[in-house]
Structure 1
Amino acid sequence: MTGSPDPGARPMMARDRASAALGMVVQRDDPGHAVVSMVIREDMLNGFDVTHGGMVFALADTAFAIACNEDERVTLAAGADITFLRATTLGQTLTATALTRSRSGRSGIYDVQVSDGEHVVAEFRGRSLTTNRAVPDR
């Protein structure tokens, strides 16, 4: 997915206009494991010329969403926390890797590590809730 939804992507990501607008690229999409990257643009910087924390959160949240939507039922975030460890800036590529930590019934816990290729820049923990809603068709 690069700037516009990929027609070959699963329906959730094919319709994800926010992730597309941020230029996110899905590199891995497996049940319980996702990898998503994004190049930091000038319009993603805050007033100190470092990446706005919301952009880092959005990247981690997208990887989390892919990892936790493992079957035909819609799974949504019940909550999430992020810890920022290092600042990043213009031109850097950030990569978010999401993994399942635990699933029980309709609840799940997922860890997402965001790196700049050399360093871990953020750690994200997402809590999911699987609904009774079926994933809509394209």
Structure 2
Amino acid sequence: MTVRDMTPDEMAQACADAMWADDNATQHLGMVLSDVRAGQAVMTMTVRPEMTNGHKICHGGYIFTLSDSAFAFACNTYNQRVVAQMAQVTFLAPAFEGDVLRAEAREVWRQGRGGIYDISVTRDDGVKIAEFRGHSRTVKGTHLPEE
């Protein structure tokens, strides 16, 4: 199947597979990409003991990283290489060792070389713990051969 023959969601999955193969950071942290579609991605991560801080809660940097990874997979679904231009996170509630965090990324706006994506992070008990907004920028290159 060529790139031209793919549906948007097939292309999203093929791009995610190509990115996943080289994403050492995401894999090292035990993240799982559970769903990817055009402009969307869902990623989960279990909070491990080494991810907690002096307050015995998940360090915010790990929550940011989970959000950033979901953001990356959502904005790289169109066979264009895309990087983060800017991102901001608001922490709403703590996460604890053993919690499974779920980051749902969705495209808000995409035009030209820019995009905006919102990522909501929830614990496995359904409590929303963070809101992340990322601005993307396309760079040279594709994930899949054009032809």
Aligned position for 1:63: 70
Structure 1 counterpart SS, 2:140: strand
TM-score normalised by L of structure 2: 0.84
Structure 2 counterpart SS, 1:20: helix
Larger Rg: 2
Q: Structure 1: which 5+ runs fail to align?
A: 1-8
1:48 maps to which of 32, 55, 73: 55
Aligned position for 1:102: 109
1:125 maps to which of 112, 130, 133: 133
1:28 maps to which of 10, 28, 35: 35
1-structure distance, mates of 2:70, 2:88: 14
Q: Is it true that 1:91 corresponds to 2:133 in the alignment?
A: no
Q: RMSD value over aligned CA atoms?
A: 1.2
1:99-121 superposed Cα distances (whole Å, 9 cap, x missing partner): 00000111000000000032100
Could you tell me how far 1:57 is from its partner in structure 2?
Answer: 0.4
Show the 5 A alignment for 1:10-29: 10-29=17-36
1-structure distance, mates of 2:108, 2:123: 23
Aligned position for 1:4: none
Could you tell me how far 1:50 is from its partner in structure 2?
Answer: 0.4
2-structure distance, mates of 1:135, 1:71: 9
Which letter maps to 1:67?
A: A
Q: Which has the higher strand share?
A: 1
Q: Is it true that 1:134 corresponds to 2:142 in the alignment?
A: yes
Q: Structure 2: which 5+ runs fail to align?
A: 1-15
1:43-88 superposed Cα distances (whole Å, 9 cap, x missing partner): 0001111000000000000000000002222100001000000011
Runs of 4+ in 1 over 4 A off after TM superposition: none
TM-score normalised by L of structure 1: 0.89
Stretch moving more, 9-18 or 74-83: 9-18
